[in-house]
Amino acid sequence: MAELYAHIALNVDNELRTQSLDSHSQGVGLIASRFAADFGCGSISLIMGLLHDKGKEQVEWQNYIQGVTGYNNEFSQVKCAPHHAYVGACIARKQYPQIAHLIAQPIAGHHRGLYDYCDFVEVIKEGIPYDVEIGEVMPFTFPRFSKLEKYDYHQIVRMLFSCLVDADSLDTELFMTPEQAKLRGGYATIEDLLVKLESHLQKLRNESQDTEVNHIRNYVQNQCVKESQKEKGFYSLTVPTGGGKTLASLLWALHHAVKNHQQRIIIAIPYTSIIVQTAAIFKGIFGEENVLEHHSNVNPEEIQDRELRERLQLAIENWDYPIIVTTNVQLFESLFSNKRSDCRKLHNIANSVIILDEVQTLPMGFYKPIVQMLDSLKRLFGVSVLFTTASQPILSGRIDGANPFAGFDALPAIQEIIPIEAQLHDKLRRVELSFMEESQTYDQIAAKLIEHKRVLCIVNTRKDAKEIFDRLPNEGVRLHLSRMMCPAHVSATIQLVKDALKDRGSEPVRVVATQLIEAGVDIDFPVVYRQEAGLDSILQAAGRCNREGKQGICTTYIFSLGKEHPLPPGFISQTNNARKGMGQQQDWFAPEAMTTYFRQLHSRIDNFDEKNIQDLLYKRECEFEEAARQFHLIDDQTISVIISWNGSVSLYQHLLSEGPSYMLLKKLAQFSVNIRERDFRKLQSIGAIEEPFERIYAITNPDFYKKDTGLSMDNQWLEETYII
């Protein structure tokens, strides 16, 4: 038999070189088996690797690759290759019926992604081609998972898919672009990173003042070290704002990973503003070469070192890095994705530590599939999860909703790192809540803000932010923050807020913002006003008040804008009603109050699986593609429009002259605003919208973008959807 080829490529001397099909299949099998060994599926992943490209044995496929690469001009007329991925799946079903339900889908979908079951059945109907050898049956060890739940199966298949597609990509890369392959790896070990962190913390202790707050931070860190030596599982770190949970949680994670031989730390955060801040801290401690920042606002071109830039871009593909800082959206949507590109990273989540920061922001409509996914990751794939927040939600035991059929059993017991008798919420008390009994108008709230030299006001909608901001006198530092401003404008304005607060002059500093400033942004006002909302949001707002505890007890005022309009319907009204349903509390900051609040909130939720993910995935005949289509944490019905602000003009001109590219569009995303379709159509009807390329929109007229408040549409402001 003539040699069979998997890949043909040019070498540095412009000569063609070949990779045999046998060599590629063996390479993929060995890499995949190494990946899957962490969860006991090494031998069946080896089989997947050996079978995945069996379809390339077809004579027509071999003719195609030789012709299209110029290796054999005899076949230059062959312009189309026959499908090949399904062939290995057919062989798996014939030769390995005991494990075919686990490996056939990953093999069939290793290029296009996992199928919906009916589509998968249709694809494999063609059967095994006559010119493909079936081969001998390989021995394998069936994975010995503990008791399986109905929600485990789809994630086992997805993890095996991840092992296969990443192994396929890496072996192909090693042959096609060996110089690129050499850039992978070479980072520090978890043990090395722990040494770096402890050295950094010791330096902070040596330089810090002898204050009660610093004593508490040291206590939190000591508790984290002590509790880190336990087995893999679910843990929570409930620390009020100012208790140093960011570094303490990482200290716990590194110690825990060393103790349990886990391979990496993944920190998932809901808001990009916190991610940028957190990643910068970690890079300062561990070096940029050990921290991967993966979210939509990352621009790799900002990294000056070319080799490091290329290494980080490669690591984004499969998360092969010791510390990853990412978004909840990136983490969970990947875990429910069917796409090859999204799933490559999943096997690197196995045997890792996940820190879920601000865990109270997990969307209730996806609570059930997310929580049960975390349970699978812990039981089957050796993952430990740390939930961190100042407002710990209910994630264990029975969770019941308004609908008697909505309830479900959540996680087993979660071990809290800080004992309740520590009473940290009391020791770190710096703020009291004052609920204003009467509903307020925009004028009344503006008048109250003017009474203070330094004050932050947080509201629920873009419209409310604009209305109150316009009523403030234009004196001192007067700033507005909402998503009517592009991300670059928001970041620049947050920095202006921080700089203004550092200046101890007598000028007023007044800021009106939507809740984008509420969680994780390191600012400190002596007075905060917060429009009525859920208790978790109110306490997050209070965390921006007297943050460093240097001014005794300060006040966060809670107000209603009922005289102007009621709260928008939906989740924000549910959260506000849940808080009201608690009645008057002796201590709003106590952990018991937060538990009461979340029980009230759950009782108002009709469905913890609003997209019916369980109907799509909790069975053998999984609908992988449809589930991925439905699982989006943020139901974004908006349209992105490039605006005219600062550096966007030159970038837009570059777009017009050079056309769209991935990196250029990534840069332009920093100068874009998301608007609702009805408002988009309104702007379009008056000729404000340009469309230089299909589905790329821009407003180049600077009159539509205000330096203080962002995108304007004849003063018809869009309402801010509640951030999840």
Mean pLDDT over 18-39 rounds to 96
Whether residue 296 is predicted with pLDDT greater than 80 in this model: the reply is no
Structure-token pair, residue 443: 């004028």
Sheet holding 696-698, edge to edge: 672-676, 638-642, 696-698, 690-693
Q: How far is CA 435 from CA 439, 557, 562, 588, in A?
A: 11, 6, 14, 12
Q: Is the pLDDT of residue 411 over 70?
A: yes
Please report, as a single letter, which amino acid is at residue 484.
M
% of the chain with per-residue pLDDT over 70:
96
Alpha helix segments (H runs only) across 543-623: 571-581, 591-602, 613-617
Which of 32-41, 268-277, 654-663, 672-681 is predicted with the least confidence, judged by mean pLDDT?
A: 268-277
Helix residue ranges per DSSP H, 212-244: 212-227
Which of 300, 294, 342, 301 shows the shortest CA–CA distance to 321? 294
- Domains of the chain by range and CATH? 5-148 (no CATH), 190-422 (3.40.50.300), 425-602 (3.40.50.300), 638-711 (no CATH)
Contact 212, 427 (CB under 8 A): yes
Sign of CA dihedral 317, 319, 323, 324: positive
CA dist 395 → 327, 352, 595 (Å) = 19, 20, 10
Nearby residues of 677 by Cβ (< 8 Å), 6 or more positions away: 637, 638, 639
Contact 141, 43 (CB under 8 A): yes
Q: How many Cα neighbours within 13 Å face the side chain of 432?
A: 7
CA quadruple 367, 370, 376, 378: dihedral, nearest 10: -100
Which residues lie across from 641 on neighbouring strands? Answer: 673, 697
Q: How many CA atoms lie within 13 A of 553 on its CB side?
A: 7
pLDDT of residue 49: 98
User: For 664-676, what is the mean pLDDT?
Assistant: 90
pLDDT of 297: 67
Exposure b/e, 442-464, CB count within 10 A at least 16 = b:
bebbbebbeebebbbbbbbbbbb
To the nearest 10 degrees (0 to 180), the angle between helices 272-286 and 245-260 is 60
- The number of C-alpha atoms within 13 Å of 593 and in the hemisphere containing its C-beta is 18
- Beta-strand pair 509-514/454-459: parallel
Q: Which pLDDT does position 472 carry in this prediction?
A: 97
Task: Determine the pLDDT at residue 427.
Answer: 84
Q: Which range has the worst mean pLDDT, 308-312, 466-470, 628-632?
A: 308-312
Using an 8 Å Cβ cutoff, are 457 and 529 in contact? yes
pLDDT attached to residue 724: 30
pLDDT confidence tier of residue 580, bands split at 50, 70 and 90: very high
Q: pLDDT digits over 623-637, tens only?
A: 999 999 999 988 767
Q: Bridge partners of 121?
A: none
Q: Is the pLDDT score of 722 beyond 70?
A: no
For 51, counting Cβ atoms within 10 Å of its Cβ (0-12 exposed, 13-18 middle, 19+ buried), the class is buried
685 or 46, which is more confident? 46
Q: Is the pLDDT of residue 521 over 80?
A: no
pLDDT digits (tens, 9 = 90+) for 478-498: 999 998 999 899 989 999 999
The predicted-structure confidence for 72-108, as pLDDT tens digits, reads as follows: 889 988 888 899 999 999 999 999 999 999 999 999 9
The pLDDT tens digits of the residues spanning 311-338 come to 888 888 999 999 999 999 999 999 999 9
Can you read off the two tokens belonging to residue 548? 């460093």
Q: How confident is the model at residue 174 (pLDDT cuts 50, 70, 90)?
A: very high
